[in-house]
Amino acid sequence: MAKYKRILLKLSGESLMGEKQYGIDEKRLAEYAAQIKEIHEQGVQIGIVIGGGNIFRGLSGANKGFDRVKGDQMGMLATVINSLALSSALVAAGVKARVLTAVRMEPIGEFYSKWKAIECMENGEIVIMSGGTGNPFFTTDTGSSLRGIEIEADVMLKGTRVDGIYTADPEKDRTATKFSDITYDEVLKRGLKVMDLTATCMCKENNLPIVVFDMDTVGNLKKVISGEEIGTVVHN
């Protein structure tokens, strides 16, 4: 039995690179599509937001001399490319998927609205919401928080390369210990980099819990949906 009826799945753009140095790894994409299909078949309504860091990251572009607004707009377009790739992989796996965009760009995707997204999910489609919030200076973390709250998701599932939240970066500090669950207040007090500050505060204020888990291990998404205690739960 699925623990959640409707979820917002946040995927990192970097994870789509898989073994590559840049762009999209077709093998990783197919693995993601298979995992998403598995939970979709359990009747879970799924909204997805994907980052664009495997193609272009606005903030790093600004550090290299790009205008920040144009850099962020390039980052938004990178999320659209990733969203189209994932929707293609899902359709190939036999699942109906629809791409909605935060900025008008028909026929590439339909213009996002809460009502359109919910209607599509209730009709059994997986909805991929691309283009961030449509505004510069906001990350895709904030975009996923906003969309999760808008579509009235039960939870945000943040799929990363790490298996949860630690006291420090486990890739750099071997003494880092993992939290099984943690409150938003504690995350803010400790300055933990779960998501950016705006996204964290939005989830806290709107009481949207987050589960941070390792999406790159095949089968983990189904385990989270089934209520297994993997990853870290962030809550009020």
Provide the CATH number for the domain around residue 159.
3.40.1160.10
Instruction: Please tell me whether 111 is known to bind a ligand.
Output: no
pLDDT for the residue numbered 171: 81
Instruction: Please tell me whether 61 is known to bind a ligand.
Output: no
Say if residues 203 and 210 touch (Cβ distance below 8 Å): yes
pLDDT for the residue numbered 153: 98
pLDDT for the residue numbered 2: 85
Full domain range(s) for residue 80: 4-232
pLDDT for the residue numbered 115: 98
Alpha carbons 45 and 120: distance in angstroms, whole number: 9
Instruction: Please tell me whether 138 is known to bind a ligand.
Output: yes
pLDDT for the residue numbered 174: 86
Say if residues 156 and 12 touch (Cβ distance below 8 Å): no
At 231, which amino acid appears?
G
Instruction: Please tell me whether 134 is known to bind a ligand.
Output: yes
Q: What are the pLDDT digits (tens) for 153-203?
A: 999 999 988 899 999 888 888 899 999 999 999 999 999 988 999 999 999
Instruction: Please tell me whether 57 is known to bind a ligand.
Output: yes
Dig out the tokens for 233 from the structure.
Answer: 């739960």
Say if residues 99 and 87 touch (Cβ distance below 8 Å): yes
Give buried/exposed letters for 14-25 (b at 16+ CB in 10 A, else e): ebbbbeeeeebb
Instruction: Please tell me whether 59 is known to bind a ligand.
Output: no
Tokens 């983990």 appear where? 220
Instruction: Please tell me whether 135 is known to bind a ligand.
Output: yes
pLDDT for the residue numbered 1: 78
Residues 6+ apart with CB under 8 A from 51: 10, 11, 12, 13, 14, 79, 82, 140
Q: List, for the chain, all residue ranges whose pLDDT scores fall below the cut of 70.
A: 61
- Structural domain tally of the chain? 1
Alpha carbons 67 and 121: distance in angstroms, whole number: 37
Bridge partner residues of 97 (DSSP): 126
Residue 179: which region, alpha, beta or left (left: phi > 0; alpha: psi -120 to 50)?
beta
Check the CA dihedral 136-140-145-147 and report its sign: positive
Instruction: Please tell me whether 160 is known to bind a ligand.
Output: yes
Which value, in Å, is the radius of gyration of the alpha carbons in the chain? 17
Instruction: Please tell me whether 53 is known to bind a ligand.
Output: yes
Tokens 């598995």 appear where? 38
pLDDT for the residue numbered 172: 87
